[in-house]
Chains A and B, each alone.
Chain A
Amino acid sequence: NAGVMQNPRHLVRRRGQEARLRCSPMKGHSHVYWYRQLPEEGLKFMVYLQKENIIDESGMPKERFSAEFPKEGPSILRIQQVVRGDSAAYFCASSPRASGNSQETQYFGPGTRLLVL
């Protein structure tokens, strides 16, 4: 029973390039969450998606960042025109049901460490 998978584990980009981070949720999970951890900080919520729908993107920067969770395939977090401040660890989590009032535990992947040169 594989856990949440993320790839790549490490990604190096130069300023202005695009970064694509992938997340495959646990089997049977249809709810995906993306978090970002800056150095010396906790994880900060970015976006919550169900299959083909963005449910809550209140934590996403207004520009350059986008996320999708297509009917087939992994969830993608896309960062266009990366800047040095985007360097961080990006974690994906999944749950079998909505993680709100139902108190669903979110299970995390190993993260993608993005370094912008």
Chain B
Amino acid sequence: DQQVKQNSPSLSVQEGRISILNCDYTNSMFDYFLWYKKYPAEGPTFLISISSIKDKNEDGRFTVFLNKSAKHLSLHIVPSQPGDSAVYFCAGGATNKLIFGTGTLLAVQP
């Protein structure tokens, strides 16, 4: 049972443009959501989070939007930079654990 889904395995974007990464979830009990960025052979690095009672959170170039009625969240990166190229995981926060999606590989072309 995949409670958190990232249906796009990969995304390619031009440098300077907006990257939009999407995530859907089925578990209404998540209290918060997080986005992590992961480079090969490294651990996930925390990017940004959002409480389930909010619909938007912004931190610099990163903005996360939450649509609870659609059970959908998205991460916007503006402007995209080549250093943003990595795998991005969304995760739902439940008691004692995080439930991760399968990740989206973002490639930002110079």
What residues of chain A have their CB less than 8 Å away from a CB belonging to chain B? Answer: 4, 6, 33, 35, 40-45, 48, 55-56, 58-59, 91, 93, 98-101, 103, 105-111, 113
Contacts and interface: CB of A to CB of B under 8 A. Distances in A.
**For the complex, would chain B's binding face be called helix, strand, loop or mixed by DSSP majority?**
strand
Interface string B66-97: 00000000000000000000000101011111
A18 B34 CA distance: 34
A45 B42 contact: no
16 contacts: A35-B98, A40-B102, A42-B101, A42-B102, A42-B103, A45-B98, A100-B95, A101-B95, A103-B32, A103-B49, A105-B34, A105-B46, A108-B43, A109-B43, A111-B42, A111-B43
Given A42-B101, A43-B89, A99-B96, A4 B51 contact: no
A25 B34 CA distance: 20
B43 A55 contact: no
Contacts of A59: 97
A4 B43 contact: yes
A110 B46 CA distance: 13
Contact of B94 (A35, A40, A100, A111): A100
Contacts of A108: 36, 43-46
A111 B38 CA distance: 11
Interface residues of B, number: 27
B18 interface: no
Given A103-B31, A105-B49, A91 B44 contact: yes
Contacts of B89: 42-43
Contacts of A56: 95-97
B99 interface: yes
A65 to B, nearest CB: 16
A101 B52 CA distance: 11
Contacts of A45: 97-99
Contacts of B46: 105-108
A43 B51 CA distance: 21
